[in-house]
Amino acid sequence: GESVGLHLPTLSVQEGDNSIINCAYSNSASDYFIWYKQESGKGPQFIIDIRSNMDKRQGQRVTVLLNKTVKHLSLQIAATQPGDSAVYFCAENIGGTSYGKLTFGQGTILTVHP
Amino acid sequence: NAGVTQTPKFQVLKTGQSMTLQCAQDMNHEYMSWYRQDPGMGLRLIHYSVGAGITDQGEVPNGYNVSRSTTEDFPLRLLSAAPSQTSVYFCASSYGQGGTYEQYFGPGTRLTVT
C-alpha cells in the first residue's frame, strides 16, 4: 500500500492472480475518491471512483472498497493481466467548492508476471 | 475528440528563462487543472480553473502563472525557470457536473531546467 517516503511501494503478482492495492487517505472530510492507472510515459487514466456514502463499488474486473472509519481505500483487480502493469494512484477530493481539487497519493507499482 | 492535448512534449530551459506550456481540451469541460509529477511521487496540483476567467492556486503555485480566457485553453507560464521546476507537467480537465469529478489527463510535458 501507499506510504509516506520517496520509494514507491511495489506489488508483484502472477498473471491470473487477484491484486489488492491499498491507500490510506488523509482527510476525514474527503467525500470522493478515485483510482488512476499510469503507464510509463503517459498521463493518468481513470479506473474507478467512489463517493463517501458508499463502501463498495464494482467495475469491470475492478472493485474499490472504502473504509471511512480507518480512512482506508483499496483497489482489487481480478484476474490480473500483464497489461495491468502500471503505477496506481488513489486520489481524494474534499468536495464543495473545491470539486476537482484532487490530492494524490504517492502511488503503488504493480508488476504482473506472465 | 482529441481530448486533452499538451505542447510541447519535451522542453529544455536554462535557469531564468520563461516559457508557456500549452493545454487545450475539446470536450467543453468547465474545470481544468495543472499538476506536476516528480520522480517517485504522486501528482501535485499547481493551479486550477473552474471556468473561463476564474483561476485559483493549488498546492504548489509558486513560480507559475495561469490564465483562462476561453473554455478550451489553459496555459501554464513559468516566469523564471529554476532547476527545482524540472518535472513532468500534466494538464487535466473534467465535467464537474452531476457529481462526476473524473479528470481526463493529457500526455504530459517533460521539462528539464539546467
Closest CA to B21 of B103, B106, B93, B100: B106
In chain B, which stretches have pLDDT less than 50? 98
pLDDT value of residue A26: 82
Q: A58 with A41: CB under 8 angstroms? A: no
Q: What is the pLDDT of residues A67-95, one digit of tens each?
A: 999 999 999 999 999 999 999 999 988 76
In the stretch 25-54 of chain B, residues with CB closer than 8 A to chain A read 31, 33, 35, 40-45, 48, 50
Q: Which positions ≥6 away from A70 have C-beta within 8 Å?
A: none
Instruction: Report helix, strand or coil for A73.
Output: strand
The Cα A75–Cα A21 span in angstroms is: 5
pLDDT value of residue B103: 85
pLDDT value of residue B1: 76
The Cα A99–Cα B2 span in angstroms is: 24
Q: B105 with B5: CB under 8 angstroms? A: no
Q: Do A43 and B41 touch (CB under 8 A)?
A: no
